[in-house]
């Protein structure tokens, strides 16, 4: 018998009652993906209030790399809560903040680097831009097509897709410019996608913005919401070289890719690039609200005393959870596990693809695998409805999955890396069944 165990229809009666309560008092913007309320979660599975147990291939949208309620992380948070819950580090400091900075600096390569903490990925992005502007004395920022950097003002401006993230929320922050991302599958010349994107970037420094006014370029090494698209191998080194030539700082947004998801602690490691600034969040806190900006000391120290901050940033409980998370990632070999999980996912989809022409592309790094669905392999017309149907079929079979992509036609895998081989195989079998049912 597997992990999945459905004992009622979805949603069950208790979840339906909670949905009715939610609709009366919760704003409409906060819609529900799964029509079932969680009761408890362990590892790669969770059980709803009606007793239905699901496998979780969404992983809290990437936050649950160590799974639900890892005992070492729960214990670390509990122990900290019993000691003290809040001071504001800049008012009354505490050791766990310093310990976490030490761990992150070591994890991203060590050397002359410093770190600062915030509450969310969007806040990390906002502050990375502030730090870059202060350090360089410049104002402009360049982002990429397909990017997602968050929902606060600067992060939302940097984000590419207008619906549902930007429509009706303007005007946006000034001095933000956008250039093409090397999306090989949708490039007119896939083998030259990186070179073409580099040419477009260089051209933008002539036709769009004076490079002497550009503080930073921000890029996801693998597009997250944009479709789980990795940069081409040649692109990041070329981009870094151009940035260095013009005195432009390179910000790697590793909010979704960082902490081991891609088979290395940072995705940029696989491209031989050392960014000036790195943003981290999601998996770093195992669901506790914490994010980080890590970067070269001379850049991080650009802002002076009290110029960067916030009441709750680097909360003691979140710091304790993040320290425990990084310890678990190391002790349980989750960076290496990402490679194993990714190979298994990729192999399963390659097998499914033999009989499913709608599978246009299987791509990613480590366990961060995206499967792009198209109506026709030649035209590559996005098959958004098919992906939605697959997710619905999977949900009805006890597997939680999510989509992404600028056309919402990519099935993404954010599997907790503590998942067992048996659970991974069970979930992939459900996805295979769901593809067959959705196509039928």
Per-residue pLDDT of 290-305, as tens digits, reads 999 999 999 999 999 9
Domain stops at, among 298, 331, 364: 331
What is the token pair recorded at 433? 């069944």
| 81/17 Cα distance (integer angstroms) | 33
pLDDT of residue 218: 98
Asked if residues 299 and 131 have their Cβ atoms less than 8 Å apart, the reply is: yes
pLDDT of residue 110: 85
Indicate the number of domains in the chain.
2
| Residue 341 is assigned to a structural domain of this protein | yes
- pLDDT tens for each residue of 143-165: 999 999 999 999 999 999 899 99
Q: Are residues 305 and 362 in the same domain?
A: no
Residue 316 above 80 pLDDT? Answer: yes
Residue 404's CATH number = 3.90.1150.10
- On the CB side of 6, how many CA atoms lie within 13 Å of its CA? 15
Residue 318 above 90 pLDDT? Answer: yes
| Residue 420 is assigned to a structural domain of this protein | yes
Strand 399-400 and strand 53-56: pairing?
parallel
- pLDDT tens for each residue of 114-137: 999 999 999 999 999 999 999 999
Residue 85 domain boundaries: 71-331
Sheet holding 277-280, edge to edge: 113-118, 291-296, 277-280, 249-253, 214-219, 140-144, 176-179
Residue 139 above 90 pLDDT? Answer: yes
| 77/288 Cα distance (integer angstroms) | 9
Q: Are residues 346 and 315 in the same domain?
A: no
| Residue 5 is assigned to a structural domain of this protein | no
Q: Are residues 102 and 241 in the same domain?
A: yes
pTM here is 0.97
Domain stops at, among 276, 307, 331: 331
Q: Are residues 268 and 353 in the same domain?
A: no
DSSP string, 36-105: S-EEEEEBTEEEETTS-EEEESSGGGGT-TT-BT-HHHHHHHHHHHHH-S---TTTS--HHHHHHHHHHH
| Residue 312 is assigned to a structural domain of this protein | yes
Quickly state the pLDDT bin for 435 (edges 50, 70, 90). Answer: very high
Q: Are residues 249 and 137 in the same domain?
A: yes
- Which among 279, 137, 292, 291 is positioned nearest to 212, based on CA atoms? 137
Rounded to an integer, the average pLDDT of 266-279 is 97
Q: Are residues 31 and 88 in the same domain?
A: no
The whole-chain average pLDDT of the chain stands at 97
Domain stops at, among 331, 346, 381: 331
| 415/398 Cα distance (integer angstroms) | 15
Asked if residues 369 and 338 have their Cβ atoms less than 8 Å apart, the reply is: no
The residue length of the chain stands at 440
- pLDDT tens for each residue of 36-78: 999 999 999 999 999 999 999 999 999 999 999 999 999 999 9
Quickly state the pLDDT bin for 1 (edges 50, 70, 90). Answer: confident
Q: Are residues 340 and 307 in the same domain?
A: no
Q: Are residues 385 and 295 in the same domain?
A: no
| Residue 7 is assigned to a structural domain of this protein | no
pLDDT of residue 440: 87
Packing angle, helices 421-439 and 384-396, rounded to 10: 120
Q: Are residues 51 and 81 in the same domain?
A: no
Q: Are residues 325 and 419 in the same domain?
A: no
- pLDDT tens for each residue of 377-422: 999 999 999 999 999 999 999 999 999 999 999 999 999 999 999 9
pLDDT-above-70 percentage for the chain: 100
| Residue 126 is assigned to a structural domain of this protein | yes
- pLDDT tens for each residue of 200-259: 999 999 999 999 999 999 999 999 999 999 999 999 999 999 999 999 999 999 999 999
């Amino acid at each position: 018998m597997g992990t999945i165990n459905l004992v009622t229809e979805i949603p069950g009666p208790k979840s339906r009652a909670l949905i009715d309560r939610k609709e009366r008092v919760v704003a409409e913007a906060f819609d529900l993906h799964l029509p079932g309320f969680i009761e408890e979660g362990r590892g790669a599975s969770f059980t709803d209030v009606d007793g239905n147990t699901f496998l979780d291939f969404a992983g809290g949208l990437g936050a649950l790399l160590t799974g639900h309620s890892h005992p070492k992380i729960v214990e670390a948070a509990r122990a900290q809560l019993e000691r003290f819950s809040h001071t504001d580090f800049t008012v009354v400091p505490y050791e766990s903040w310093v310990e976490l900075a030490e761990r992150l600096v070591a994890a991203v390569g060590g050397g002359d680097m410093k770190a600062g903490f915030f509450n969310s990925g969007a806040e990390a992005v906002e502050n990375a831009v502030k730090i870059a502007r202060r350090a360089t004395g410049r104002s402009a920022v360049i982002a990429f097509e397909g990017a997602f950097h968050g929902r606060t003002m600067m992060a939302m401006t940097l984000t590419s897709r207008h619906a549902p993230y930007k429509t009706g929320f303007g005007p946006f922050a000034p001095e933000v410019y956008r250039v093409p991302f090397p999306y090989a599958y949708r490039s007119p010349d896939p083998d030259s996608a990186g070179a073409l994107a580099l040419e477009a970037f260089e051209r933008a420094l002539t036709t769009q913005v004076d490079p002497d006014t550009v503080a930073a370029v921000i890029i996801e090494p693998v597009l997250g919401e944009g479709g789980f698209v990795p940069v081409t191998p040649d692109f990041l080194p070329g981009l870094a070289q151009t940035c260095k030539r013009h005195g432009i700082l390179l910000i790697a947004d590793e909010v979704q890719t960082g902490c081991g998801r891609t088979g290395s602690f940072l995705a940029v490691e696989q491209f031989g690039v050392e960014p000036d600034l790195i943003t981290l969040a999601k998996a770093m806190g195992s669901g506790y609200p914490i994010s980080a900006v890590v970067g070269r000391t001379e850049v991080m120290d650009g802002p002076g005393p009290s110029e960067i901050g916030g009441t709750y940033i680097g909360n003691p409980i979140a710091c304790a959870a993040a320290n425990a998370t990084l310890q678990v990632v190391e002790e349980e070999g989750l960076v290496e596990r990402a490679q194993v999980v990714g190979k298994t996912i990729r192999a399963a989809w390659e097998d499914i693809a033999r009989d499913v022409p709608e599978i246009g592309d299987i791509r990613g790094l480590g366990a961060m695998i995206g499967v792009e669905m198209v109506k026709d392999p030649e035209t590559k017309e996005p098959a958004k409805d098919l992906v939605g149907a697959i997710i619905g079929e999977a949900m009805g079979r006890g597997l939680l999955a999510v989509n992404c992509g600028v056309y919402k036609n990519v099935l993404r895998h954010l599997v907790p890396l503590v998942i067992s081989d048996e659970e991974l195989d069970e979930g992939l079998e459900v996805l295979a069944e769901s593809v067959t049912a959705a196509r039928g």
